Amino acid sequence: MPRYRLLIEYDGRPYHGFQAQGELPSIQGSIERAVKGFCGEALRLQAAGRTDAGVHATGQVVHVDLAKAWKAEVVRDALNAHLVPEPIVVLEAAVAPEGWHARFSATRRRYRYRILNRRSPPALDQGRVWHVKKPLDAEAMHAAAQVLVGHHDFTTFRDLACQAKSPMKTLDVAAVRREGEQVLLEFASRSFLHRQVRSMTGSLAEVGTGRWSADDLAAALEARDRKACGPVAPADGLYLSGVEYETT
């Protein structure tokens, strides 16, 4: 039974998150229906990560096991045809190596957060960026973000409903830069806690506006207390931007 690795892009706004939730619209449910429409198989796909309601992806990875050995480009094109008109696209399809798993073989996940930093609200990017009117100091945000890099107890930046067994995570990358009117935040880790990226982003925005200093962010991390977290950034600007594997 061949396993297909699929690279997925989607707009998370119409869905209640990635994971199938009964009759509620989900990205997983839509892709599984597309598979059934294509080849008649009812299956449960596996994904590298489960994004929350309203969160987007430019680099989600999933796998499906199909009974027939189809050409990879046929799988890609057929699924895209059955996904119309939903905002979900299969960018690439490939036959996966023996033993490869979309979730368990992943060595690093990357998230990007987009902030539109100007007085006027977005017209074309509504629901796809966080609109922050007050000027943000991206350099100060980047400098402060470095205290988050490394192996830490991230309880402060962990949602109360998080089901992870431990708050200990290793953050490999926390970078902030400005590109015109946008402030872009990049995070990379093997795995993340529930709403960790949005929590860190909201606190870094406090640094960017001058309400917090880098020392305040460090103190919040050290507090290991959810109450020490700044406002949580909305789902609008968050993207699962890539998943890395040792074997491709």
For the annotated catalytic residues, the residue numbers are: 52
Which one-letter amino acid corresponds to residue 121? P
Closest of 185, 209, 217, 207 to residue 198, by C-alpha: 185
Closest CA to 185 of 231, 148, 156: 148
Look up residue 97 and give its DSSP letter.
Answer: P
The structure tokens listed for 131 are 């609109």
Q: Residues 180, 114: contact at Cβ < 8 Å?
A: no
Q: How would you classify the pairing of strands 88-95 and 3-10?
A: antiparallel
Q: Can you tell me the distance from the alpha carbon of 210 to that of 240, in angstroms, rounded to the nearest whole number?
A: 28
Angle subtended by helix axes 27-39 and 72-83, to nearest 10: 120
> How far is CA 218 from each of CA 84, 93, 144, 168, rounded to the nearest angstrom?
46, 42, 8, 16
What count of residues does the chain have?
A: 248
Report the alpha-carbon distance of residue 157 to residue 204 in Å, rounded: 11
